[in-house]
C-alpha cells in the first residue's frame, strides 16, 4: 500500500448497509429511572452511537446501525441492563467488505 494513502473509519463504515427490522429491535434496555454506570458508559463506547442519554436522564438505545460488535453485550453481561439478540435473518448490518 502506498505510504500517503489514508482511509477514514467513517468512510469504511459508510460502505455498510443496514436493514431495519421495524418493531423488532434486537437490543433493548431494561426499564430504569436512574441509569447504571454501565449504561452511561455505553453512550461513549458504542462505535455506532446507538446509545443516547435522554432528557430525563435515562439511557435509550436505537439499534439501527448496530454493527453487532458485542461491546455492549459484554459490558452488561449479568447486569440485567440489556436484552441483546442477533437481528432476525435478513435484517441488521450487511458488511460490504467483511
50 binds ligand SF4 (CB under 6 A): yes
Q: Are 86 and 26 in contact (CB under 8 A)?
A: yes
Q: How many CA atoms lie within 13 A of 11 on its CB side?
A: 3
Contact 87, 21 (CB under 8 A): yes
Closest to ligand SF4 by CB, 1 vs 74, is 74
Reading the block at residue 46, the C-alpha cell is 458504542
| 72 contributes a contact to ligand SF4 by CB under 6 A | yes
Instruction: Find the part of the chain contacting ligand SF4 (CB under 6 A) among 12-20, 31-39, 42-50, 52-60.
Output: 42-50
Which DSSP state fits 30?
P
Residue 85 in the binding site for ligand SF4 (CB under 6 A): no
Answer for which of 21, 60, 64, 68 binds ligand SF4 (CB under 6 A) is 68
Closer CB to ligand SF4, residue 39 or residue 66?
Answer: 66
Q: Cα angle vertex 26, ends 20, 30, to 5°?
A: 130
Residue ranges in contact with ligand SF4 by CB under 6 A: 27, 46-48, 50, 63, 66-72
Amino acid at each position: 500500500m502506498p505510504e500517503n494513502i489514508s482511509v477514514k473509519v467513517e468512510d469504511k463504515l459508510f460502505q455498510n448497509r443496514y436493514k431495519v427490522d421495524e418493531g423488532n429491535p434486537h437490543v433493548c434496555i431494561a426499564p430504569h429511572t436512574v441509569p447504571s454506570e454501565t449504561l452511561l458508559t455505553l453512550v461513549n463506547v458504542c462505535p455506532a452511537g446507538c446509545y443516547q442519554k435522554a432528557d430525563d436522564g435515562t439511557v435509550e438505545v436505537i439499534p439501527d446501525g448496530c454493527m453487532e460488535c458485542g461491546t455492549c453485550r459484554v459490558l452488561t453481561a449479568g447486569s440485567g441492563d440489556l436484552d441483546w439478540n442477533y437481528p432476525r435473518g435478513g435484517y441488521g448490518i450487511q458488511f460490504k467488505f467483511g
